[in-house]
Amino acid sequence: MTAPIFILAGEASGDQLAAHLMRAVNNAYEKPNWIGVGGRLMQAEELEILD
């Protein structure tokens, strides 16, 4: 098991930039565990939303 990667974006432009970063990491590494706060684009990259 790998340590989770925490990521946070609080507005639409941050969601877009973070999703792009997440996509690049997802393509380079095997199944990172993303947790944090973000929007729909980040959720599409398998972000687990923290309440």
Tokens of residue 45, six digits:
């990259």
pLDDT band at 9 (very low <50, low <70, confident <90, very high): very high
Average pLDDT value for residue range 35-51: 95
Average pLDDT value for residue range 1-10: 89
pLDDT band at 1 (very low <50, low <70, confident <90, very high): low
